[in-house]
Structure 1
Amino acid sequence: MNIGLTALIAIASVVVIGIGAGIAFYVGRKKNTEEDWIVGGRSLPIYVIAFTQYATAVGGGVLVAHVGISYAWGFSVYWYELFVIVGMLILALFANWLRKRKFSTIPEIFTRLYGEHKTMMTIVAIAVIIVPFGWLATQFVAFASLFSEVTGVPFAPLIIAMAIITLLFVLPGGLTSVAWTDFFFGVFMIGMSVVIAGYAIHAAGGWGDVVAKVPDDMFALPEGLTLAGGSTILLWLFAILPGTLTNQLYYQRIFAAKSGKEARTGIYLSCVMILIAGTYALIIGVAVHAMNPSFGVEGREDAAGWFLTQVPVWLLAIYGAFLMATIVSTTGSALQSVVANLINDLRNAFVNREADTRNRISLSRWCTVGVTIVAAVLSIVYPQALGWLVATYAYSASILAVPLLFGIIMSKRYNVNVAVAYASMAAGFIGCAIAHVLGTTIPYAVFGIVASLVGYIVALLIARPATVAQQEEATIS
């Protein structure tokens, strides 16, 4: 273990994390209602909405996987960011409708669209939970992998440390404390992205040397955009776009805005910042490629870790704080989202919502600790199996995307029968599972989403929905 280096990184991280934790406890003390915990009191300003959307989207993936993508394929890295942005812009179209109805979670949207049904609530809640829980566990592993290589600290203590740090930002005030600390972390992340990217270019000998040393097609257009290959880009499309459209973390920040208009504006600003994150990953990736092309395509995810070993000690200390802030912003959001579903949806499906309102925040805090322990233990005991969690995006999107988006569109004119939602969700799960087992070359999420769409349309033809006007007349009569 490099004690001096570890101490410097720890000091810088304590300063940054300490400021963030101070914000979390200050906000949590002032905002401590159940609505503050779940949806930020529905009063977060535009700049907080923008930065918390950005900080939620940009986590360990950008720090490791996206740097690796640009290391291997140059401009192809922008596809990843583009699919996230397209998904968020689609959500912006529905922002006003979502905000006006004062939802708290995705299962509540399904209840509004298809009525109150315990079975549906349970299925939807589980499908929603598996994605942020997967994020939580994989972010723990990403943090430990990065810092274990640099500092020599064993894997398990680093995961435990990240778990404890994550709790500091969620326990004080739920989404309110998470969102305000995301604002601080987001500002810090943008600033450090510029600094680190500038150093990477300098270390590689300047931008001219970078361009000269990497393969020409990495920067050529349109060749650079297609280097990853059509099948890989298609995989990203059906993993990221539907995943973004069904990711509760983004919805909660719409619910937390003061209005639908401010929610949309926050999304537009966050999209700009996500492009900045993609540019950061591009610069680091190609700069490392120029300095050390030996990793190749297969070893591309080692590029980020190697770069850490090349920066001077003073910058590495600040960079360590940057990495920790980036990962904590995602783990905090993911953890709060999981707990919101467990308490607000799964528990409320079987327990009287009004019976123990006073104790719900306390219960949420205990649940937060429990979920954190489970995720940390899984990360320590079985980290090599966390790759399967990538499949949660495919299954979650296959179950949720069609009945959620088409349900919102249909709701303006029709009252759709819950059987349509069940048929769509079942078809999506079965289609995704069959393609997964068969090992199809086309991403299995494609089959799941197509099957879900077919199931939705067929069920609509069988159980024809009444118009809203017809339903109102029937109710009056």
Structure 2
Amino acid sequence: MQPVHVLILAGYVLLMVLIGAWFSRRKAIADGEDFMLAGRSLPAPVLAGTLLATFVGSGSIIGGASFVYTYGPVAGIFFFAGTVIGIVCLYFMATKVRRLSHHTIPEMLEVRFGRPVRVLATVIILVAFVGITAYQFTGAGSILSIITPLSPAQGTIVAALLITFLALGGGLKSVAWTDFVSVVVIVVALVGSLAVVFIADVGGIGGYVDRLDPALTSLTGTLTPVQLLGYFLPLFLLILGDQNMHQRLASGRDEGTARKATIGFFGGAVLLLGTIILLASSSSFLLPDIEPGQAILGLAGTDLVPIGIGGLLLAGAFALIVTTGSSYLLTCSGNIVYDLVFQRRGSARNAQKALKLGRWAVLAVTVFAYVLGQFFPSVLALQMYAYTMYGVAITPVVLAALFWKRATAWGAIAGMVVGGVVTVAWESTGRSADINAVVVALPLAVTALVVGSLLTRGKTTDGAGAGTREQTTEGAHTG
């Protein structure tokens, strides 16, 4: 335990708490709209920062670093390419997503497909996002165990409490601004660590290439192409249909702000993920005996980086994970409030009730996420399960709702049910350690969506609303 690291972490946690307290004032958070969508007031830099921080949490700092440490930098590029390519696609979707301005993904699906689709989508999203929240708790707890005398289990509890506080207080306004500050710190820490390690310890690009294990320099590392595809697809599918991404784009000041923020998101992701790949792969020969999940964070506890940069690295990574966890707590809360209770926008009284219920929902999701996190052996394993569940069962239906006019409610239901059931069934067999469930589940889910839609043209489920009335969707919740 380094006293300097503890002081830096304590100062950073205090800053996050103060930001959360500032935005929890009654003046800042008046109703559910402020709580979930920051009053649609976020400027482009803050929006870009919160997009980046939401997607680059413990799944990248710990899970992604573990993957790169184990399989090599080239395989790591394929792993993270799903994020980068997904952001490019998201850029072209940004204007439409901001124009629709829904609270949640199921809310948008109901306008297109009807209420049964909304309810089913809500259940699947909660299953997936509670899993993502769970590994933020675990990841942040792991960092606390490095910096402080706390055990990983104790650190997880402390992290869960802090994450819950930020989500309960100022909602998305609080989370977005803490995201922005966290991204600035983690970029400085990661780039600074990379510069020091490469110059002083690795010996530049030449030394990096010479010292890297030849087994890790092939195109797919030690994985087969099918296995590598199983890691690429979950990230790609998640970012396209991620409710967090859609909510943040909807929280921008206008459509132009959403597109500008997506450009900043892309640049920040390339910088951060590239740095993670180089640092984690360097750790494979600088720290050959370390646990893979500590490939980057473990550098802070050695003499490979200056103590100040190491402290910033740990504090920034912790803050990034904390705000990512808060984001997913918020989005789960939004599903409970707007998709299960207040399915129609109503009076100011309902808006106040939505705010109160949203905070109670945050507490409930915290408990479920903590319990779920106890059943997975690693951050990477939980990450792949959660990403696959969402990407297979939800993303194809979201894309069909936005861009395929022939999609029907029955097709959407078929796609979600097949995708979710196959994912759970494949995970339960234990085969996901060899081939990720997405490789099997995605083709079956898309086939069910397409075939189901083509066979049920002109038919609706009970309560189905608009069919293919996309113009209604676009006009229903504008600005």
Instruction: Give the shorter-chain TM-score range.
Output: 0.7 to 0.9
Distance 2:157 2:238 in 1: 28
Counterpart of 2:420 in structure 1 is 429
Counterpart of 2:436 in structure 1 is 443
Q: Does 1:390 align with 2:389?
A: no
Distance 2:363 2:201 in 1: 44
Counterpart of 2:464 in structure 1 is none
1:307 aligned to which of 299, 304, 323:
299
Report deviation, 1:383. Answer: 5.6
* CA distance 1:468–1:290, change in 2 (3 Å): closer
Distance 1:151 1:203 in 2: 28
Q: Secondary structure at the match of 1:257?
A: coil
Q: Secondary structure at the match of 1:185?
A: helix
* CA distance 1:459–1:314, change in 2 (3 Å): closer
Report deviation, 1:252. Answer: 0.8
Q: Does 1:68 align with 2:66?
A: yes
1:19 aligned to which of 12, 15, 21:
15
Report deviation, 1:284. Answer: 1.4
Q: Secondary structure at the match of 1:153?
A: coil
Report deviation, 1:216. Answer: 5.4
Distance 1:406 1:417 in 2: 9
1:454 aligned to which of 447, 450, 455:
447
2:411 aligned to which of 420, 426, 441:
420
Q: Give 1:204's aligned amino acid.
A: D
Counterpart of 2:28 in structure 1 is 31
**Deviations 1:173-201, CA, capped at 9 Å, x for gaps:** 21111112111111112111111212222
Counterpart of 2:106 in structure 1 is 107
Question: Which stretch shifts more, 280-289 or 38-47?
Answer: 280-289
Q: Give 2:6's aligned amino acid.
A: A
Contact 2:337–2:358 (Cα < 8 Å) also in 1: yes
1:289 aligned to which of 262, 276, 284:
284
Q: Give 2:441's aligned amino acid.
A: G
Distance 1:253 1:17 in 2: 24
Report deviation, 1:382. Answer: 4.6
Distance 2:370 2:308 in 1: 30
Counterpart of 2:123 in structure 1 is 126
Instruction: Count residues in correspondence.
Output: 454
Question: Which stretch shifts more, 436-445 or 191-200?
Answer: 436-445
Question: Which stretch shifts more, 444-453 or 339-348?
Answer: 444-453
Q: Give 2:118's aligned amino acid.
A: M
Please show how residues 214-233 of structure 1 align to structure 2 within 5 Å: 214-215=212-213, 223-224=218-219, 228-233=223-228
Contact 2:179–2:320 (Cα < 8 Å) also in 1: no
Please show how residues 244-393 of structure 1 align to structure 2 within 5 Å: 244-294=239-289, 300-304=292-296, 306-311=298-303, 312-349=306-343, 354=347, 356-379=350-373, 382=375, 384=377, 387=381, 390-393=384-387
Report deviation, 1:437. Answer: 5.5
Contact 2:186–2:312 (Cα < 8 Å) also in 1: no
Q: Give 2:74's aligned amino acid.
A: F
* CA distance 1:123–1:100, change in 2 (3 Å): same
Q: Does 1:181 align with 2:174?
A: no
* CA distance 1:252–1:151, change in 2 (3 Å): same
Question: Which stretch shifts more, 80-89 or 267-276?
Answer: 80-89
Please show how residues 76-225 of structure 1 align to structure 2 within 5 Å: 76-115=75-114, 117=115, 119-149=116-146, 151-207=148-204, 208-215=206-213, 223-224=218-219
The structure with the largest alpha-carbon Rg is 1
**Deviations 1:9-38, CA, capped at 9 Å, x for gaps:** 332112222223322332343421321111
Report deviation, 1:289. Answer: 2.7
Counterpart of 1:399 in structure 2 is 393
What TM-score, normalized by structure 1, do the two folds share? Answer: 0.86
Report deviation, 1:271. Answer: 1.2
Report deviation, 1:153. Answer: 1.8
Q: Secondary structure at the match of 1:66?
A: helix
Q: Give 1:426's aligned amino acid.
A: V
Distance 2:383 2:273 in 1: 23
Report deviation, 1:230. Answer: 1.3
Q: Give 2:301's aligned amino acid.
A: T
**Deviations 1:271-309, CA, capped at 9 Å, x for gaps:** 1111111222122123323323356xxx53343354233
Contact 2:220–2:228 (Cα < 8 Å) also in 1: no
**Deviations 1:70-103, CA, capped at 9 Å, x for gaps:** 3341232122322112222222222222221221
Q: Secondary structure at the match of 1:204?
A: helix
Contact 1:136–1:335 (Cα < 8 Å) also in 2: yes
Q: Secondary structure at the match of 2:394?
A: helix
Report deviation, 1:332. Answer: 1.3
Report deviation, 1:430. Answer: 4.1
**Deviations 1:183-236, CA, capped at 9 Å, x for gaps:** 1111112111111212222442431433332235756xxx45656441332111
Distance 2:286 2:143 in 1: 19
Distance 1:90 1:147 in 2: 36
Q: Give 1:78's aligned amino acid.
A: I
Distance 2:274 2:232 in 1: 19
* CA distance 1:212–1:172, change in 2 (3 Å): same
Q: Secondary structure at the match of 1:67?
A: helix
Report deviation, 1:310. Answer: 0.9
Distance 2:119 2:12 in 1: 39
Report deviation, 1:352. Answer: 8.8
Distance 1:468 1:247 in 2: 23
Distance 2:199 2:286 in 1: 11
Contact 1:121–1:346 (Cα < 8 Å) also in 2: no
Q: Give 1:241's aligned amino acid.
A: F
* CA distance 1:356–1:422, change in 2 (3 Å): same
Distance 2:384 2:339 in 1: 24
Distance 1:17 1:318 in 2: 12
Query: Is there any run of 5+ residues in structure 2 with no aligned partner, and where?
Result: 459-466, 473-479
Query: Is there any run of 5+ residues in structure 1 with no aligned partner, and where?
Result: 472-477
Q: Secondary structure at the match of 1:258?
A: coil
Q: Secondary structure at the match of 1:103?
A: coil
Q: Give 1:453's aligned amino acid.
A: V
Distance 1:185 1:332 in 2: 13
Distance 1:283 1:420 in 2: 43
Counterpart of 1:475 in structure 2 is none
* CA distance 1:123–1:192, change in 2 (3 Å): same
Contact 1:401–1:449 (Cα < 8 Å) also in 2: no
Q: Secondary structure at the match of 1:464?
A: coil
Contact 1:167–1:332 (Cα < 8 Å) also in 2: yes
**Deviations 1:130-174, CA, capped at 9 Å, x for gaps:** 232212111211222243245442223312221222133222221
Q: RMSD of aligned C-alpha atoms?
A: 2.9
Distance 1:442 1:384 in 2: 17
